[in-house]
């Protein structure tokens, strides 16, 4: 497994401002958790450097329009580290003022203990139950590739973005992540890039009490591109790893970044004590001193230079968005019918009188519900066409989820609208959540009722996120 990926373009050497910005993220996390008297400071402190590199040098997003359709998607699968995401959203100019950071984990705030996609601008999916974000991101990457296959032309790459995520040791222990990783490797999702926060600490202590597998080899066996970064504060190595992952077009990527939970804390770094409780005022003071933070700075201090630097994302995001708008205008002029369909799909607009095609079943007749479901799908797919994307967990014939004329979605046929999920009920439901959250398709899945117990956590999140 290479540990020094080849650079694909010049590397920007880290500056003092880079380090100060990273430490601002760490300090905001410490201060917010301390004020709330609950939360998880350790993960944001350890993962701040790699998140900073991703958000400032790679992530394509527009803080002024979090719903821009061609933005990169970012998932914090380790949702307990929510202050990492909230700090990034605040600093880069999303509608998340400092007062909301100060109200972390308080009733009615936009900064709940775990990220909620329907509450906080810029949060792509609700996370917290470990592994869910990992699997949801697979669905997002599937939707991106599917839409690109249907709408892109050589001159007009209308759908051209990545799905990024930060995943944890806990995420990779959960069974759903193995299901989803296997599916992603099979599908060859080259625009799916996860940074693995490998801090070797869990709530109960060191991960070696329960988790000693060779993670990189597991992912390589599932068809992933894998790179290691030995120092989670090495900005150049992290940058190189992301660049190399972006140049890999046929495999999803896992970047194994060795981090230190609670980085900078003299007494709690690399211990379970930094995971899920405030550090305490005295330890925070010592940590800030170790990080070179001004001793007279108040809690929630954001240096002016950092604020100016991080808010550059609003300008670069607006420029990228404007370039895409111009591309769409030329696409619309050249392909008006396709552009109209694209707009309708992305807006989630159903065809007029779509329900008029639904069949009726005579009272008193006997028909298995799965057979009735199959008949309904026949009519719906006929009306909605490729906008309806779905599949079954290796029960196609039994669940009647396939409609004549539907092609399979495979690595070689990414525009197929029928997904062969295999015996992976949990990943199937989470991937459908990802497709719905991404937008542009209307997903459906099928299995036997009793097997829905295998996917219930993802189904619960569907409801919490108010997804169709």
Average pLDDT, integer, range 107-114: 98
Average pLDDT, integer, range 86-107: 98
Q: What is the mean pLDDT of the chain?
A: 96
Distances (CA, A) of 208 to 134, 263, 366: 22, 20, 56
The reported pTM is 0.97
Average pLDDT, integer, range 40-55: 98
- Band of residue 3 on the pLDDT scale cut at 50, 70, 90: very low
Q: Could you report the per-residue pLDDT of 328-343, keeping only the tens digit for each?
A: 999 999 999 999 999 9
Q: What's the length of the chain?
A: 468
pLDDT number for residue 365: 87
pLDDT number for residue 7: 41
Gap between the Cα atoms of 396 and 418, Å rounded: 10
With b for 16 or more beta-carbon neighbours within 10 A and e for fewer, the 175-211 pattern comes to ebbbbbbbbbbebbbbbbbbbbbbbebbeeeebeeee
C-beta separation of 198 from 260 below 8 A: no
Average pLDDT, integer, range 4-11: 48
pLDDT number for residue 11: 65
Q: What radius of gyration, in Å, describes the C-alpha atoms of the chain?
A: 23
- Band of residue 67 on the pLDDT scale cut at 50, 70, 90: very high
pLDDT number for residue 351: 86
Residue 265 confidence (pLDDT) above 50: yes
pLDDT number for residue 9: 54
pLDDT number for residue 5: 39
pLDDT number for residue 8: 43
User: Strand 201-202 to strand 253-258: parallel, antiparallel, or no bridges (unpaired)?
Assistant: unpaired
Average pLDDT, integer, range 262-282: 98
- Band of residue 4 on the pLDDT scale cut at 50, 70, 90: very low
Q: Could you report the per-residue pLDDT of 314-329, keeping only the tens digit for each?
A: 999 999 999 999 999 9
Q: Domains plus CATH for the chain?
A: 16-319 (3.40.50.970), 354-464 (3.40.50.970)
pLDDT number for residue 6: 41
pLDDT number for residue 10: 61
Which residue is associated with the tokens 């062969």?
Answer: 420
Let me know if 312 is a catalytic residue.
Answer: no
Of 144, 179, 283, 425, which residue is the catalytic one? 425
- Band of residue 13 on the pLDDT scale cut at 50, 70, 90: confident
Residue 34 confidence (pLDDT) above 60: yes
């Amino acid at each position: 497994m290479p540990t020094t990926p080849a650079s694909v373009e010049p590397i920007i050497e880290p500056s003092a401002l880079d380090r100060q910005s990273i430490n601002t993220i760490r300090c905001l996390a410490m201060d917010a958790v301390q004020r709330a008297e609950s939360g998880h400071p350790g993960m944001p402190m350890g993962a701040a450097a790699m998140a900073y590199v991703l958000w400032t040098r790679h992530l394509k997003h527009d803080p002024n329009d979090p719903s821009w359709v061609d933005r990169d998607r970012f998932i914090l699968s380790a949702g307990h580290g929510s202050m990492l995401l909230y700090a990034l959203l605040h600093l880069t100019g999303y509608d998340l003022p400092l007062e909301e950071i100060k109200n972390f984990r308080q009733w009615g705030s936009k900064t709940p203990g775990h990220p909620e996609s329907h509450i906080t601008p810029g949060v792509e999916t609700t996370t917290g139950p470990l592994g869910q974000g990992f699997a949801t991101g697979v669905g997002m990457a599937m939707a991106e590739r599917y839409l690109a296959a249907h709408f892109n032309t050589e001159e007009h790459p209308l759908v051209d973005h990545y799905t990024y995520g930060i995943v944890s040791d806990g995420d990779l222990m959960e069974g759903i992540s193995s299901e989803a990783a296997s599916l992603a490797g099979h599908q060859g999702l080259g625009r799916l890039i996860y940074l693995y926060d490998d801090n070797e600490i869990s709530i109960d202590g060191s991960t070696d009490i329960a988790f000693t597998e060779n993670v990189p080899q597991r992912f390589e066996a599932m068809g992933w591109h894998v790179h290691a970064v030995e120092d989670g504060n090495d900005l150049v190595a992290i940058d190189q790893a992301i660049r190399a992952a972006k140049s890999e077009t046929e495999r999803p990527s896992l970047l194994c970044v060795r981090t230190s939970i609670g980085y900078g804390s003299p007494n709690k770094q690399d211990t379970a004590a930094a995971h899920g409780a405030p550090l305490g005022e005295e330890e925070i003071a010592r940590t800030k001193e170790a990080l070179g933070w001004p001793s007279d700075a108040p809690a929630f201090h954001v240096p002016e230079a950092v604020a100016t630097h991080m808010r550059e994302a609003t300008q670069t995001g607006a420029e990228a968005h404007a370039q895409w708008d111009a591309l769409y205008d030329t696409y619309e002029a050249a392909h008006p019918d396709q552009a109209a369909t694209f707009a309708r799909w992305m807006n989630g607009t159903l065809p007029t009188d779509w329900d008029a095609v639904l069949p009726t079943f005579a009272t008193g007749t006997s028909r298995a519900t799965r057979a009735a479901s199959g008949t309904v799908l026949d009519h719906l797919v006929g009306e909605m066409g490729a906008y309806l994307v779905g599949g079954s967990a290796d029960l196609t014939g039994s669940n009647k989820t396939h409609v004549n004329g539907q092609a399979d979605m495979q690595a070689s046929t990414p525009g197929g609208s029928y997904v062969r999920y295999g015996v992976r009920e949990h990943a199937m439901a989470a991937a459908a959540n990802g497709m719905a959250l991404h937008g542009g398709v209307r997903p459906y899945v099928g299995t036997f009722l009793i097997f829905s117990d295998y996917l219930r956590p993802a189904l619960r999140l569907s409801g919490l996120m108010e997804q169709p």
